[in-house]
C-alpha cells in the first residue's frame, strides 16, 4: 500500500521523492509528473533529471508488461505442445464429443471442410505464382479488359492457364456465388432488424418501468391488506443424473425455501446410473428428512426419455393430484429462500397464466474466457429476448428450470413428451397453442453454473440447436391447425423457429466461414465491407449491452460467435433432417465450484433455521468418501483437453484466405479473416475453456 503524503503540500519539492518512489513504480510516475508541474521556475534545473527518472520508470513498467506477455506466450506454447503431443482429438469415438453422432455424416462434413482447405491451398499457390508473373488486378472489373486480345497477347503455358481460370471465374463461378452472397445478406439484414426490434422493446420496458405485477399485490395495495395468506400446494422437483458435484447445493437450497412445509413436497428425481452417486443422493435426502424437510427420493431403473421421461414418471404419482403448481430446478440451481413467494403469487386470480419463469444468474461467470462469453449470450437472452417476448407476446421458450408451472396447464397440453431433446421448449409451444400465457420475471434470479470446458459447452449447444429443429418438424402441423390468432402463428413459425433457430446459425456459418473465404479466390463476387465489419460490430454491441462489464470482450465475443456457428450449423442440420446425434441427450458436466461456498453462506444467513443445516459435515464426509474411492480404484474418466478437427481445419482455411486477400490489397477482409482464423485456431486447440494439466 502506498505511504501517506500529508506532508506533500507543506514542503517544497526538490526532486527528493524521485529516489524514494523507485520502490513502487505503479504510483511513482504520477507523483513525478506532479513534481514536474509544481516545481515552477526555481526547479527547472531539476526537470531534466526528473524527466530521466520518469522515462526510466516507464521503461521499467513496459519491461514488466513484456515479461508478462512473454510468460503468457511460453505458457501458450507449452499448452499447444501438450495438445499436439497427446494426440487426443474429437475424432476418437471413446472420448469424442460426438461419439453418438452418425459417423457417416460426421466424416462427410469434415471431409468437405478438408476438401475446401486443400483446394484453397492449391489456389493460393496458383495465385502467388500469377502475382509474381505480373497478374496484378486492382479491381475485378479490369479482368475482362486485360483478357481481351491485344497487341501484347498472352504468352506462356502458365499465362494461358491463368487466363482460362480468370474467364471461368468471371463467367461461371462469380454469378452463382454473388447470388448466394445477396441471399445471405438479405437473411442477415432480416435477422439484424429482428435483433434491433428486440433491443428497442427492451429499452421501452426499461424506460417505462414495465414489469409483471401480481393481481393480488395490486388489490392488496388498493385495500391496504396483507398478501401473506396465499400458500397453495406446490410440488418441487429436482431432476438429476450422475451429478454428484452439485446435488448437495440444490437439495440444500430447495429445502430452505420459505414456504409452509405442509404446503410443499420436494421430489429428488435421481436418474443416476452410478450406484455410488445414487447412494450419496439417497443419504442426503434421508438426512434432510430427519431435519423435518418434506422431501422424497425417487429413482428410475430404466432411463427412458431422459429428463422428459423422468419428469413424466414423477408426475404420474398418485399424490401429485393434491398439488396445484410444480416448480422445477436442475441439479446445479440454487433458488433463494423467497423464490416461491416471488413467483407463485403471479398465478393468483389469473387463471390464464400457465408458467412463471425466473432469470438465471451464474456463480462462475468470471472463471475463464469461455464463461465470460457465455454470460454475454445468456444475459442478452434473458434481459432482452425472454423479457420482451414475455411482456409483449405472453410467450417465450421455457428454459427447463427455475420456473413454476400450473399443473393444469401441463396436463391440458399433453404433459411431458420424450420425442425431442428440448422437452422444455416442446411443452411451452404446446401450452401456447392451448392458449396459456407465460410470465417472465427479470428481477427474480436463480443461481446456477456455466460449462467451464469447451467440451461440455459444445455438448450443450448441440442439444440446444438440434432439438428446436426436431420440434419444428413435429409441431408445424399442430401450429397450422391450432385456434390461436394468425399473428401468433406467424410469430411461432417465422420468428421463433425459422429466424432465430434456423436462419441465424445457417447464415453465420455460410456467410463468414464459407462464402467470405471463397470471395478471396473469386474476387469478382464481392462481399460489402459493411456486411463484414460494421453491422456485425453493431449487433455485438447490442448483444453486450445487458452485461456492460463485458465490454472489453466485445471483439472476442464477435469472433467466438462466428466460431461456434460450426457447431450450431451442424446441430441444426442434424435436427432438421433427423440424423443420429439429434436424439442424444448428454448431461452438461458440472464443476461444483459453488457448492461449498454457497452452503456456508446458507449457514451464515440462517444459523438457527428450523429445518437445520448439516452441510459442513456433509462436505467433510463427501471429501472422505471421495478420497476412499480414489484409493480403492482408479477414476472411470479423466478430463483431457483435446484437438477439435473441424475447427482446426476451418482455422487453416480462413488463414489461407487471409493470405490470398493480401494479393488483392483487401484490408478489412484480411484483418477479419486473420482474427477469425486465429479464433478458430484457439478453439480448435481447446485453449479457450478449462485447461487440464
Range name among 37-41, 184-188, 543-547 with the lowest pLDDT average: 37-41
Most trustworthy range by pLDDT among 65-69, 72-76, 128-132, 246-250:
246-250
What pTM did the predictor assign?
0.81
Report how far residue 288's alpha carbon sits from residue 261's, in angstroms, rounded to the nearest whole number: 13
Q: What local confidence, expressed as pLDDT, does residue 23 receive?
A: 45
pLDDT of 329 higher than 70: yes
Hey, what's the torsion of the CAs at 452, 454, 457, 459, to 10 degrees?
-140
Maximum pairwise Cα distance, the chain: 100
pLDDT of 22 higher than 60: no
Q: What local confidence, expressed as pLDDT, does residue 337 receive?
A: 96
Please check whether residue 407 is in contact with residue 326, taking contact to mean a CB–CB distance below 8 angstroms. Answer: yes
585 vs 657, higher pLDDT: 657
Note the residue count of the chain.
693
85 vs 569, higher pLDDT: 569
Mean pLDDT of the chain: 82
Question: Among residues 461, 474, 377, 462, which one has the least CA distance to residue 418?
Answer: 474
Which residues neighbour 509 within 8 Å (Cβ) at sequence distance 6 or greater?
A: 565, 566, 568, 569
Q: What local confidence, expressed as pLDDT, does residue 682 receive?
A: 93
Q: What is the pLDDT of residues 484-529, one digit of tens each?
A: 999 999 999 999 999 999 999 999 999 999 999 999 999 889 999 9
| Residue 34 bears catalytic tag | no
Q: Are strands 264-270 and 234-240 parallel, antiparallel or unpaired?
A: parallel
- Angle, helices 369-380/554-576, rounded to nearest 10 degrees: 70
Active-site position among 35, 90, 98, 271: 271
How confident is residue 5, by pLDDT bands cut at 50, 70 and 90? very low
Could you give the C-alpha distances from 136 to 120, 132, 140, 160, 163, in angstroms and in order? 19, 9, 10, 15, 12
How many C-alpha atoms does 304 have within 13 Å on its Cβ side? Answer: 6
Report how far residue 116's alpha carbon sits from residue 514's, in angstroms, rounded to the nearest whole number: 9
How confident is residue 480, by pLDDT bands cut at 50, 70 and 90? very high
Which residues neighbour 299 within 8 Å (Cβ) at sequence distance 6 or greater?
A: 270, 271, 272, 278, 282
Which DSSP category does 4 fall into?
P
Question: Among residues 568, 650, 689, 580, which one has the least CA distance to residue 99?
Answer: 580
Report how far residue 397's alpha carbon sits from residue 400's, in angstroms, rounded to the nearest whole number: 9
Report how far residue 481's alpha carbon sits from residue 599's, in angstroms, rounded to the nearest whole number: 50
How many C-beta neighbours within 10 Å does residue 558 have? 22
Q: What local confidence, expressed as pLDDT, does residue 42 receive?
A: 52
Report how far residue 405's alpha carbon sits from residue 326's, in angstroms, rounded to the nearest whole number: 5
How confident is residue 228, by pLDDT bands cut at 50, 70 and 90? low
Give me the CATH code for the 234-450 domain, please. 3.90.550.10
How confident is residue 585, by pLDDT bands cut at 50, 70 and 90? low
Q: What local confidence, expressed as pLDDT, does residue 25 receive?
A: 44
Q: What is the pLDDT of residues 50-68, one digit of tens each?
A: 777 777 888 888 888 777 7
Report how far residue 596's alpha carbon sits from residue 249's, in angstroms, rounded to the nearest whole number: 8
How confident is residue 179, by pLDDT bands cut at 50, 70 and 90? very high
pLDDT of 624 higher than 50: no
Which DSSP category does 643 fall into?
B
| Domain-wise residue ranges, the chain | 112-210+454-590+641-692, 234-450
Q: What local confidence, expressed as pLDDT, does residue 230 receive?
A: 86
Q: What local confidence, expressed as pLDDT, does residue 141 receive?
A: 47
Mean pLDDT of 606-624: 42
Active-site position among 424, 426, 598, 686: 424
Q: What local confidence, expressed as pLDDT, does residue 401 receive?
A: 95
Q: Which three cell numbers stand for residue 569?
A: 450449423
Q: Which three cell numbers stand for residue 120?
A: 484453397
Q: What is the pLDDT of residues 332-387, one digit of tens each?
A: 999 999 999 999 999 999 999 999 999 999 999 999 999 999 999 999 999 999 99
How many C-beta neighbours within 10 Å does residue 230 have? 15
pLDDT of 321 higher than 80: yes
3-class secondary structure, 253: helix
Q: Give residue for cell 419463469.
A: 357
| Residue 424 bears catalytic tag | yes
72 vs 450, higher pLDDT: 450
Amino acid at each position: 500500500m502506498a505511504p501517506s503524503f500529508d506532508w506533500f503540500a507543506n514542503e517544497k519539492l526538490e526532486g527528493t521523492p524521485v529516489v524514494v518512489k523507485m520502490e513502487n513504480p505503479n504510483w511513482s510516475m504520477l507523483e513525478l509528473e506532479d513534481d514536474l508541474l509544481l516545481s515552477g521556475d526555481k526547479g527547472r534545473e531539476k526537470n531534466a533529471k526528473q524527466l530521466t527518472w520518469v522515462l526510466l520508470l516507464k521503461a521499467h513498467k513496459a519491461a514488466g508488461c513484456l515479461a508478462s506477455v512473454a510468460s503468457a506466450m511460453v505458457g501458450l506454447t507449452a499448452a499447444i505442445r501438450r495438445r499436439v503431443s497427446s494426440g487426443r482429438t474429437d475424432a476418437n469415438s471413446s472420448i469424442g464429443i460426438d461419439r453418438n453422432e452418425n459417423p457417416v455424416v460426421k466424416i462427410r462434413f469434415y471431409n468437405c471442410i478438408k476438401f475446401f482447405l486443400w483446394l484453397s491451398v492449391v489456389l493460393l499457390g496458383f495465385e502467388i505464382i500469377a502475382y509474381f508473373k505480373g497478374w496484378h488486378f486492382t479491381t475485378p472489373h479490369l479482368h475482362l479488359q486485360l483478357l481481351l486480345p491485344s497487341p501484347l497477347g498472352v504468352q506462356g503455358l502458365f499465362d494461358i492457364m491463368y487466363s482460362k481460370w480468370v474467364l471461368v471465374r468471371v463467367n461461371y463461378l462469380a454469378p452463382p456465388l454473388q447470388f448466394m452472397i445477396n441471399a445471405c445478406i438479405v437473411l442477415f439484414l432480416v435477422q439484424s432488424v429482428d435483433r434491433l426490434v428486440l433491443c428497442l422493446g427492451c429499452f421501452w420496458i426499461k424506460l417505462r418501468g414495465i414489469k409483471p405485477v401480481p393481481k393480488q399485490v395490486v388489490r392488496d395495495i388498493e385495500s391496504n391488506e396483507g398478501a401473506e395468506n396465499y400458500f397453495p400446494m406446490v410440488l418441487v422437483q429436482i431432476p438429476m443424473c450422475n451429478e454428484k458435484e452439485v446435488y448437495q447445493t440444490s437439495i440444500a437450497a430447495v429445502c430452505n425455501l420459505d414456504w409452509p412445509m405442509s404446503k410443499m413436497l420436494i421430489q429428488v428425481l435421481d436418474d443416476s446410473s452410478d450406484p455410488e452417486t445414487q447412494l450419496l443422493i439417497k443419504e442426503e435426502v434421508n438426512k434432510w428428512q430427519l431435519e423435518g424437510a418434506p422431501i422424497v427420493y425417487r429413482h428410475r431403473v430404466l432411463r427412458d426419455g431422459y429428463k422428459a421421461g423422468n419428469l413424466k414418471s414423477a408426475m404420474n404419482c398418485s399424490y401429485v393430484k393434491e398439488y396445484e403448481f410444480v416448480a422445477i430446478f436442475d441439479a446445479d440451481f440454487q433458488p433463494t429462500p423467497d423464490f416461491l413467494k416471488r413467483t407463485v403469487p403471479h398465478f393468483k386470480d389469473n387463471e390464464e397464466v400457465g408458467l412463471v419463469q425466473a432469470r438465471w444468474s451464474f456463480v462462475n461467470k468470471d472463471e475463464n474466457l469461455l464463461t465470460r462469453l457465455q454470460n454475454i449470450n445468456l444475459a442478452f437472452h434473458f434481459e432482452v429476448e425472454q423479457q420482451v417476448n414475455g411482456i409483449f407476446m405472453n410467450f417465450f421458450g421455457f428454459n427447463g428450470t427455475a420456473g413454476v408451472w400450473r399443473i393444469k396447464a401441463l396436463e391440458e397440453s399433453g404433459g411431458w413428451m420424450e420425442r425431442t431433446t428440448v422437452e422444455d421448449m416442446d411443452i411451452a409451444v404446446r401450452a401456447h397453442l392451448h392458449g396459456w400465457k407465460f410470465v417472465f420475471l427479470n428481477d427474480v434470479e436463480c443461481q446456477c453454473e456455466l460449462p467451464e470446458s469447451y467440451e461440455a459447452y459444445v455438448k450443450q449447444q448441440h442439444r440446444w440447436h438440434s432439438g428446436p429443429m426436431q420440434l419444428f418438424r413435429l409441431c408445424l402441423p399442430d401450429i397450422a391447425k391450432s385456434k390461436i390468432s394468425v399473428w401468433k402463428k406467424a410469430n411461432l413459425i417465422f420468428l421463433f423457429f425459422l429466424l432465430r433457430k434456423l436462419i441465424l446459425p445457417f447464415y453465420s456459418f455460410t456467410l463468414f466461414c464459407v462464402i467470405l473465404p471463397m470471395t478471396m479466390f473469386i474476387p469478382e463476387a464481392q462481399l460489402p465491407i459493411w456486411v463484414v465489419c460494421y453491422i456485425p460490430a453493431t449487433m455485438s454491441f447490442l448483444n453486450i449491452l445487458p452485461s456492460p462489464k463485458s465490454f472489453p470482450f466485445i471483439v472476442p465475443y464477435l469472433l467466438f460467435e462466428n466460431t461456434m456457428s460450426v457447431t450450431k450449423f451442424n446441430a441444426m442440420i442434424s435436427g432438421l433432417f433427423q440424423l443420429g446425434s439429434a436424439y442424444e441427450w448428454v448431461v452438461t458436466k458440472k464443476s461444483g465450484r459453488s457448492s461449498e461456498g454457497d452452503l456456508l453462506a446458507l449457514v451464515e444467513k440462517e444459523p438457527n433455521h428450523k429445518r437445520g443445516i448439516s452441510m459442513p459435515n456433509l462436505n467433510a464426509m463427501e471429501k472422505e468418501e471421495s478420497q476412499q474411492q480414489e484409493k480403492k480404484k482408479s477414476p472411470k474418466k479423466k478430463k483431457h483437453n483435446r484437438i477439435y478437427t473441424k475447427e482446426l481445419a476451418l482455422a487453416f482455411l480462413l488463414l489461407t484466405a487471409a493470405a490470398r486477400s493480401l494479393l488483392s490489397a483487401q484490408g478489412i477482409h484480411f484483418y477479419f479473416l486473420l482474427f477469425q482464423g486465429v479464433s478458430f485456431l484457439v478453439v480448435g486447440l481447446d485453449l479457450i475453456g478449462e485447461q487440464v494439466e
